[in-house]
Amino acid sequence: MLMSGGIDSPVSMYYLLRQGHELLAVHMDNRPFTDDTPLEKIVDHLKVLGERFQRKIPLYVLPHGPTQIELMRNTDRHVGCVLCRRFMWRSAERIAEREHATFLATGESLGQVASQTLSNMRSATAAVGLPIVRPLIGFDKQEIEAVAKSIGTYGISTRPGLCCQAVPDRPATRSGLVQILQQEERIDVESLIDDCVRRAVVM
Amino acid sequence: MTYSTLRLCSGRAAFEAVPRPRLALDLPAIRGRLEDAGVTVTDARVLLIARMEREVTISRDGRILIKSADAVEAGQILARLRALVDLPA
């Protein structure tokens, strides 16, 4: 399950844990485009959810900053969020394969931000083969916040923290897969993923 | 006036200065100046990340983000940065 430190991903994880799924968390560490706070929040989210469901949830932390730098240097900025998501999915899928996980999951809900339009979700998730589960897909923000408050993760998510500095001024809300694949021809995708996954830390 | 205001960013973990009007900074030149002053810089083409007392992000359009939640410290860092790289007044 991809965890960002925001409001949505712990709520999404809550629903999957409630159904009895065994989960592991993956965080794409976006420093230096953010700060330490997302990771600190995730550690606390997992503590809250782990106590509620009486289990330890492993956390993989993968360095995503070097990939972001490559994307910023070599690709068009307006599709940066879609490219970024494709790398997140690919990295998470590698971890899932290593851990024999059978699906990927996120806290995405439709239309909330630029990367979560149907068109961009399609472009992003075409990078991976494992099924992707999105428990919150039809929720609106108020509903998600209400659940976050009831399970004790809202206060953690809303602590001060830096937003992603790699988000372009005007991120694309529609992207075509052909266009995205052309952008990826400018970078060495496999080597970036290999490097990212090799440097994963388990907490 | 350019860079007249430092404001807390939406995440409340940093201060940002947004020039009005937006600029078109020469990032390679700024990187050179900073490195000459002994500051480590990550160059992501459309922005620089400078490791001063705190990390500072400098965007090509002139936005500056200082990773400090302390307004006084952020102001001091901005002043030092402006002295180092001669940003527009």
CATH of the domain at A120: 3.40.50.620
Q: How far is B86 from chain A (nearest CA, A)?
A: 23
User: Tens digits of per-residue pLDDT, A50-80?
Assistant: 999 999 999 999 999 999 999 999 999 889 9
Asked if residue B34 belongs to a domain, the reply is yes
Domain extent, residue A148, equals: 8-202
Q: Say if A3 falls within a structural domain.
A: no
User: With a threshold of 0.80, does the pTM exceed it?
Assistant: yes
- The CATH number that applies at residue B23 is 3.30.310
Segment 28-87 of chain B within 8 Å of chain A by CB = 42-47, 49, 55, 57, 61, 65, 67, 69
| Residue A180 belongs to a domain | yes
Q: Is B1 a domain residue?
A: no
Does residue A2 lie within any of the structural domains? no
Lowest mean pLDDT among A83-87, A92-96, A168-172, A196-200: A168-172
Tell me which residue range forms the domain holding B40. Answer: 6-85
- Tell me what the mean pLDDT of segment B27-49 comes to: 95
Nearest Cα neighbor of A162 from A20, A24, A34 is A34
Sign of CA dihedral A44, A50, A87, A140: negative
Number of independent structural domains in chain A: 1
Average pLDDT over residues A21-25: 97
Sign of the CA dihedral running A10, A13, A19, A21: negative
Give how many domains chain B has, as a whole number.
1
